[in-house]
Amino acid sequence: MAARLRNLRQEVLRGPDDHATRAQHARGKLTVRERLDLLLDPGSFHELQPLRRHRATGFGMEDRRPRTDGVVTGQGTVEGRQVFVCAHDFRCFGGSLGQAHAEKIHRVMDLAEAAGSPLVTLIDAAGARIQEGATALAGYGGIFRRHVRSSGMVPQISVVLGPCAGGAAWAPALTDFVFMVRDVSRMYVTGPEAVRSLTGEEVTHDELGGAGVHEHLSGVAQFVHDDEESCLADVRHLLSLLPANNRELPPREEPEDTPGRGTPRLMDLVPADPAHAYDMRTVIAEVVDDGDWFEVHARWASNVVCALARLDGEVVGVVANQPSQLAGSLDIHASEKAARFVQTCDAFNIALVTLVDVPGFLPGRDQEHGGIIRHGAKLLYAYCNATVPRVSLILRKAYGGAYIVMDSQSIGADVTFAWPSNEVAVMGARGAVDVVFRRDIEAAADPAAARAECVKRYEEELMHPYYAAEQGLVDDVVEPGETRAALIGALAMLRTKHADLPDRKHGNPPM
C-alpha cells in the first residue's frame, strides 16, 4: 500500500508526460511545479487534493483522467508567512476548468478566508472545459463569488502566466493585484477568432490582450515583467508589504535609515517655480526608508504615482501627483488609479501619505464627456471613506477641486503639512485675475501693466505661503529638509487611530 502511494505521488509530481513538459518549455513558460518553487519558501509547500480526478464522461474524457485535474492547490510560506496558492497546469487539458478542477479551487479559497491568509493564483488556463459544459461555467461562478466574499479580508493576487480568456478573465479583475509577463500573458474576454468572426477586425492575441495592453491602456495589470522569475520575485516582495488579513497590521521591518534623517536634497529636486516640471518619484525615494519603494501601476495613468514603501519601518501607501506628466493634473484614469489604491490600502490597514502638487483636473471636452465628474468622485469617495491614518503634504501648488480631492483637511486628512513654497487657491493667480479683475484690466490705460499689478496683489493677499496655515487649512509649515521627520512623527502619533464608519450595509460609490 505504501509503495502504491509513493508511486502515485511521483506520478503527480511528474505531471502528464515529458512531451507536455517539453511543449510547455517550448512556449517560453515554466511548469506549475517550477513556478511554485520560485514563489514559495523551499520545502514549505503542502499540496491539497493532489490525487483528485474528474468524473466526466463522453468525448473520450473517461479515458483521460490525470491526477490534479490540471490545477495544483495548497499552502506554503513566503518569508515564513503562510500563503495559500492555486496554480493551473497547462499540461493537463490546457489548464481548462472543469467541475473537479473548480471544486479544488473553491476549497483552497475557502481555507484562505478561514485561515486569514493571502491567496495567490497562478493563471495559465484555456478557459472553461468545453467537454463538461455548463458545470464548468458554474465552477467559475463559485470562484467569482468567493473572490468577492474575500475582498478586503485577505490579500488576493492574480499572476497571469499564460492565457486567461473568456469568463476566466473576470477572476483577476476581482482581485487586489494583477501581475503579467510580456510575450507570455494574454487576457481578454473575446479572443481574436471571435473578434474576426463578429466584426471582421484582424487582431493578434498580444494586440488584443497582451501584457503591454493591460500595462499601458486598460490598466488591468498593476505589474508587468519581462520573465516569470522576476515576476514571481516581485509577488514575494509585494506579500512582504501586506498584512495577512484585514485584522492585522502590515509587517514592520527594522530600517537601516534613521527616522530623523534630514532631506535637504529636496530643495534641489523640486524647482521653486510651480510651472517647472520635476519627477515626483525622486521625492518619494528621498523621503522613504533607504530609498526603497514599490510602484503600483507604474506605466498607466502616470500623472499620478501610487507606491508602497516604509517610513521608520512601517508600511505606507504613497499617492502623489506627478508634475512631469500632464503637469500633475488629475484626469479620468489617474482618478481611478488613485481611488483603487486608496481603497486597497484602507482595506489592509496601510497608512496613507499624500504628496500634493496639482494644478487641477485636466480640462477638455474628452474629459468631460468621458465622465471626469463621475471618475473624479471615485477618488473623493475613497479618501472620505478611508479610516487608516492619513497624512498629506502640499509641496507647491494645490488648486481648485483637485486640492480638495487630494486628501485635504476638509475631507478628513488627519494631519496636513505644507512647504513654505505652497500655494492653495481656487486657481492660479493669472487665471483668477482674468475673472475677478477683467473689467478693471480692460478699462486700464495699460492693460498689461494693470494685469501684472492685479496678479501681484492676488498672490500677496491670497496665495502667499502662509495663507493656508493662517486659515487653519494646514497644521504646520515645514521646511523641505524636515519632510521625512515630519511625516514619520505624524504617522507615529496616529498609529493607534481608530475610526468607525456609519452603521450601514455598504456605501454606494460612484461607478
Positions marked active-site: 166-167, 401-402
Rounded to 10°, the helix 447-462/429-436 angle is 110
Amino acid at 348: F
* Adjacent-strand bridge partners of 87: 72, 122
Are the beta carbons of 361 and 376 closer than 8 angstroms? yes
Closest CA to 420 of 361, 463, 360: 463
> SS3 helix, strand, coil % of the chain, rounded to 5?
45, 20, 35
Q: Which three cell numbers stand for residue 104?
A: 479544488
* Adjacent-strand bridge partners of 393: 355, 417
* Adjacent-strand bridge partners of 392: 354, 416
State the Cα–Cα distance between residues 209 and 223, nearest whole angstrom: 15
Per-residue CA distances from 248 to 251, 294, 306, 460 (Å): 9, 21, 22, 48
**What residues have CB less than 8 Å from 327, skipping those under 6 apart?**
277, 303, 359
Dihedrals φ, ψ of 249, to 5°? -90, 155
Buried b (16+ CB within 10 A) or exposed e, 190-226: ebbeeeeeeeeeeeeeeebbbbbbbbeeebbbbbbbe
State the Cα–Cα distance between residues 391 and 408, nearest whole angstrom: 9
- CB neighbourhood size of 459 (10 A): 18
H or E segment and range at residue 14: helix 2-14
Are the beta carbons of 483 and 318 closer than 8 angstroms? no
Per-residue CA distances from 424 to 51, 79, 142, 327, 329 (Å): 64, 45, 50, 16, 15
State the Cα–Cα distance between residues 265 and 121, nearest whole angstrom: 42
Q: What residue ranges in 291-408 does DSSP mark as E strands?
A: 293-296, 304-311, 314-321, 351-358, 390-399
